[in-house]
Chains A and B, each alone.
Chain A
């Protein structure tokens, strides 16, 4: 880590002006950034601490919830309105990291966290297009058990490691941004981008912009009858191999609404829009759930080390939907 200056932002305007400086980086909990700076994967001349900015939940007139970007992951998971209306979001948060890390991690930092690809971290020993554009990708012929099966490119097959974002994608949450050119909102599902030829570009965030809040839309029955299931190598404190955030509304035996997103399979939280569309109006049966999952995964391109993820994702989607259908009946 090179020497750096530390500033505490007291309000949004200060965060934006300090954050606009060359070499300046925002810091939330620091659970990802401090690690990356220390390992020389990233660098900064100035850190702007945004963790003391808006950290509460506000209910908007139409019933939507606005969650301040500096809210801690633990506080969001434990919030009664989130537990009651959007269980998949609480569950996703509680399945991530450890209690200590959830107490530190902010909502904004969680969205912006970077991949856990081991070659991305290995500054001295590995080639990585994301870290060093056009240098190559050692994951391609190497250890790629944790890598993408959907939306990867010849340049990069890394996954986005966030659990929270998978639930946010399934909930169709909006990301509120502020920057030098004003404010805008972007759907969470469009906030992260696929690697293509430029895996160093991971989101649509512009220079000098920051995340100020996320907006959870007014809860629908499928958002409330929802679950998050994470499959991992040990039962706690491990990143996902595959995860599924799903919600289901069944009316008179037929699927009125299905919401499905996948984690651990792509460079972004993967909203399974094909599966959702395939299910609309069908009876809520295991056969239909499996067929819809199959439909979503037809374009999967597994690597040598992660072919198992295709079947694992299919079965996990079906199992979660089945359990949600059962709870309704």
Chain B
């Protein structure tokens, strides 16, 4: 009865009401993942569950039993170096207060995978063929689950564009 978080195993909390978000922040001290609305509306709590982006505020920790969780703390290299997307956020001013940033970054990393896989989005013109590529319109639609009350969206999109541009398609 454990959950793997950033490569280490932790016991599932005995109280089944505990959300994955509360487990991370309150019990494990992994406060990089942020608590915004606690009701699914902002994306600040986004983490990767078995590689796919989910909201940790609406996930009960018990639902993650036996699964693999990756949080912002798990992104840095073994030598402590930043993930390329973290560097791009800094370079492109993809943040002001920084509160939404861990969620934005986790979300964008999973989004890159979805694009590579050819998953369509609401703005994909040809559903059967899939997305034409990481256009601005595609990025903005795919990132709509992550709000930024500081309005740093332009920098966020630019940082993501840089990451996607540097990746093999």
Q: Do the two chains belong together in a single complex?
A: yes
Spell out A's residues near B (CB within 8 Å): 1, 3-6, 8, 27, 29-31, 34-35, 38-39, 47, 49, 51, 74, 77-78, 80, 83-84, 87, 90-91, 94-95, 97-101, 103-104, 236-237
- Docked complex Cα distance between A307 and B141 (Å): 30
Contact residue among B52, B58, B117, B146 (Cβ-Cβ distance under 8 Å from A30): B58
Q: How far is the CB of A178 from chain B (nearest CB, A)?
A: 22
A3 touches B63 (CB 8 A): no
Contact: A87 with B127, CB < 8 Å?
Answer: yes
- Quick check: B17 and A30 within 8 Å, CB to CB? no
| Contact indicator A8/B65 (Cβ below 8 Å) | yes
In this complex, how many residues of chain B approach chain A with their Cβ under 8 Å: the count is: 38
B120, A1: Cβ atoms under 8 Å? no
Q: Which of A1, A74, A236 has the most CB of B within 10 A?
A: A236
CA distance A90 to B130 in the complex (A): 12
Most chain A CB within 10 A, of B46, B52, B65, B127, is at B127
Contacts of A39 in B (CB 8 A): 39
Task: Give CA–CA (A237, B127) in the complex, Å.
Answer: 19
**What CA separation (Å) do A3 and B46 show in the bound complex?**
25
A237 adjacent to B119 (CB under 8 Å): no
Task: Assess the A236–B141 pair: CB atoms within 8 A.
Answer: yes
Among A6, A77, A83, A91, the residue within 8 A (CB) of B60 is A6
- On chain B, the residues within 8 Å of A35 by CB distance are 39-40, 58
Bound-complex Cα distance A80 to B117 (A): 12
Distance (whole angstroms) from the CB of A158 to the closest CB of chain B: 18
Q: Are A34 and B120 in contact (CB under 8 A)?
A: no
Known interface pairs A47-B16, A99-B145; A34-B119 also in contact (CB < 8 Å): no
A94 touches B121 (CB 8 A): yes
Residue of B nearest to A102 (CB): B145
State whether A31 touches B120 (Cβ < 8 A).
no
27 inter-chain pairs at a CB distance below 8 angstroms, sorted by A residue, are A1-B17, A6-B62, A8-B62, A30-B59, A30-B63, A34-B59, A35-B40, A35-B58, A38-B38, A39-B39, A47-B60, A49-B63, A51-B63, A77-B119, A78-B120, A83-B127, A83-B128, A90-B120, A99-B107, A100-B54, A100-B107, A101-B145, A103-B54, A104-B54, A104-B58, A236-B140, A236-B141
* The 6 nearest A-B residue pairs measured at CB: A98-B145, A236-B144, A6-B16, A6-B62, A237-B144, A78-B119
CA separation between A74 and B54, bound complex, in Å? 11
* Known interface pairs A38-B38, A90-B127; 15 further A-B residue pairs with C-beta atoms within 8 A, sorted by A's residue number: A3-B15, A31-B58, A34-B19, A34-B60, A35-B58, A39-B39, A78-B117, A78-B120, A83-B128, A90-B120, A94-B121, A97-B145, A98-B144, A99-B53, A99-B114
Q: How far is the CA of A100 from the CA of B15 in the complex (A)?
A: 25
Across the interface, which residues of A come within 8 angstroms of B19, CB to CB?
34
C-alpha gap A77/B142 in the complex (Å): 14
Is the pair A104, B17 in contact by a Cβ cutoff of 8 Å?
A: no
Q: Which residues of A contact B128 (CB under 8 A)?
A: 80, 83-84, 87
A19→B40 CA distance, assembly (Å): 26
B63 touches A94 (CB 8 A): no
B55 within 8 A of A: yes
**Interface on B for A, CB 8 Å cutoff?**
15-17, 19, 38-40, 43, 46, 49, 52-55, 58-60, 62-63, 65, 107, 110-111, 114, 117, 119-122, 124, 127-128, 140-142, 144-146
**What A residues does B65 contact at CB under 8 A?**
8
Establish whether residues A103 and B60, one from each chain, have CB atoms under 8 Å apart when the complex forms.
no
Shortest CB-to-CB span from A49 to chain B, Å, is 6
Beta-carbon nearest neighbor of A5 in chain B = B16
**Shortest Cβ distance from residue A48 to the other chain B in the assembled complex, whole angstroms:** 11
Inside 8 A of B58's CB, which chain A residues have their CB? 29-31, 34-35, 101, 104
Residues of A within 8 A of B110 (CB): 99
Choose one: B38, B55, B140; the contact of A31 (CB below 8 Å): B55
- Most chain B beta-carbon contacts within 10 A, residue among A80, A91, A98: A98
Kindly list chain A residues whose C-beta atoms are within 8 Å of the C-beta of B120: 77-78, 83, 90, 94
Shortest CB distance B136–A (Å): 14
Shortest Cβ distance from residue B134 to the other chain A in the assembled complex, whole angstroms: 14
